[in-house]
Amino acid sequence: MIFIFGEKIRTRSESVGDKPCAVCQSTRAFTEQHESLWFCLFGLPIAPIEKTAAYWRCEHCLTAYHCNDSSQPSHITVLKQLIVYLLMGYHQEDHPAVASEICLKISGFEISETEFQQIMAGIARGDMEMVEAVRHLAPVVNAVGKQQVLEAVFLTTYICCDLEYEDRLRINLIGNALGVGLEFVEYAISQTRKQNYYGVRRLRFAADGVRQDF
């Protein structure tokens, strides 16, 4: 007899009543989502292996929030940090307005000048290990948030450079830390292209090494 083993993600959803949604800017029905990995035999879930995610979700826009906190979608803090981190990495840290534009167009949330400076100071102090931060985010976010994070990472990279192998590898690494496959990363990138890079202008270095926009 041949046994076919496998794993499957199962989701359990419970209503938690009406909550204010920061994205809809209105009170909406919310649910608590519990995702767990199950051991399967012949495609049938037999036993739970581990809890993979738990978060609140607005049933109107499907945005994920930390449980018991609907003040800000769960992925926004890390998304902002990633944009600033990448701009710093490409020596484009004097463009806080561009960071805010990327964040606003992809997530609907702005990065204030003060926030930008605070994030930069945190990164410079070595307080933030970005891949680790993304790994911690993975269990409290859903596909909507993961796509926004990957779109922001790709768009920030795209406006800073012509993507080389290591730039693309960094994006894949963020996808891996989020717990998604390469197909999902590709999908997020294709959506950014489809949106014409959200109309964000590219930043470039001039041939003489002087930073300039064009």
Residues forming contacts to Zn ion in the complex (CB under 5 A) are 21, 23-24, 28, 58, 60-61
State the Cα–Cα distance between residues 172 and 186, nearest whole angstrom. Answer: 9
Minimum CB distance to Zn ion, residue 31 (Å): 12
Minimum CB distance to Zn ion, residue 21 (Å): 3
Minimum CB distance to Zn ion, residue 27 (Å): 10
Minimum CB distance to Zn ion, residue 58 (Å): 3
Minimum CB distance to Zn ion, residue 107 (Å): 13
**Closest alpha carbon to 53 in 37, 76, 72:** 37
- DSSP line for 171-212: HHHHHHHHT--HHHHHHHHHHHHHTGGGGPPPEEE-TTS-EE
Minimum CB distance to Zn ion, residue 60 (Å): 5
DSSP-based three-state secondary structure for 111: coil
**Residue with smaller CB distance to Zn ion, 77 or 118:** 77
Question: Dihedral of the CA atoms 129, 133, 136, 138 (nearest 10)?
Answer: -130
Query: How far, in whole angstroms, is CA 67 from its chain's centroid?
Result: 18
**Residue with smaller CB distance to Zn ion, 140 or 159:** 140
Going 164 to 160 to 190 to 115, the CA torsion angle's sign is positive
- DSSP line for 72-108: SBTTHHHHHHHHHHHHHHTT-TT-HHHHHHHHHHHHS
